Chain A
Amino acid sequence: MSQAIKTAIYTKPLSIKTDPSLYYSVGGRIYELQGQDDAALPLLTYEVQSTPVAGLFDGEVYIKSQVLFTIYGHRRLGAEVIGTIEDQLYVLMKDAALAPSGYDRGVVVPLDRDRRTVFDEIIASESIYSVEATST
């Protein structure tokens, strides 16, 4: 069932593919955990870091997943490019209601935005969101 949450997270950026959009900005390069070795930049990865589960008396299950989004880009293109993409991620995900199969909905709440790190020629921007959902 947790795969449904991952699928819903992946599907959300696909809803808008034309410029300007998150999907367009990362060239459709959206991966779970990490990008392909030969993938061009920028790209977006997502990682479901934790999913606490609470069983309800009626047999349903309430979950609150913590999801890490990371945007990778070339440092030579400047940090502002990453910021623009991070803004698009925020606008797309803030208060969004995902549609994971088998759940009532997945309410997305931003928790931590745009934490930057640099390594070699890469700039990375990490953002953390929570996804709350109840099984149906």
Chain B
Amino acid sequence: MARIVGNDGVVSFGTHSILANAWSISISRVVSDVTAYGDGGTRVVGGMPSYTGSVSGFLEAGAADTSPELTGKFYSDDVVAVTLTAATGCTYTCSTCHISGASVNVSKTGDTTISFDFTASGGFVESWN
């Protein structure tokens, strides 16, 4: 069993073109305090998990399918299929991710970067081997 390193990662992000070199995913949930009289300590109950994340990398050009698609699709609640790979066979997938934000940065003397933020509808599926 090999230890995973960042170099093993891969990103698939719907039809939005991005030459990615980083991804992240965060899971959060509301934890409600339901402590009552007589309890020996604090009691809590966890709520539904919420999955958010981001991918970042570089813009590309030179072919018909290299557009970042930051305009038209956003008017109709853009939903994309996202696959985040840590290593071969170790992935998080969600077919209904809503893009909550995107950022393009171009500077004359610097890099030309793009990043997407997304929130999953229904949660991610973890596959690990």
Enumerate chain A interface residues (CB-CB to B < 8 A). Answer: 60, 62, 95, 104-105, 107, 109, 132, 134
Contact = CB atoms under 8 A, between A and B. Distances in A.
Given A62-B3, A107-B5, A132-B7, 12 more contacts: A60-B3, A95-B7, A104-B1, A104-B2, A104-B3, A105-B2, A107-B7, A107-B8, A109-B7, A132-B5, A134-B2, A134-B3
Contacts of B3: 60, 62, 104, 134
Interface of B: 1-3, 5, 7-8
Contacts of A105: 2
The DSSP consensus for interface residues of chain A is strand
The 4 A-B residue pairs whose C-beta atoms are closest, nearest first, are A134-B3, A104-B2, A132-B5, A109-B7
A104 B5 CA distance: 12
Contacts of B7: 95, 107, 109, 132
Nearest to A108: B7
Contacts of A60: 3
A107 B2 CA distance: 10
Contacts of B8: 107
B90 to A, nearest CB: 15
14 contacts: A60-B3, A62-B3, A95-B7, A104-B2, A104-B3, A105-B2, A107-B5, A107-B7, A107-B8, A109-B7, A132-B5, A132-B7, A134-B2, A134-B3
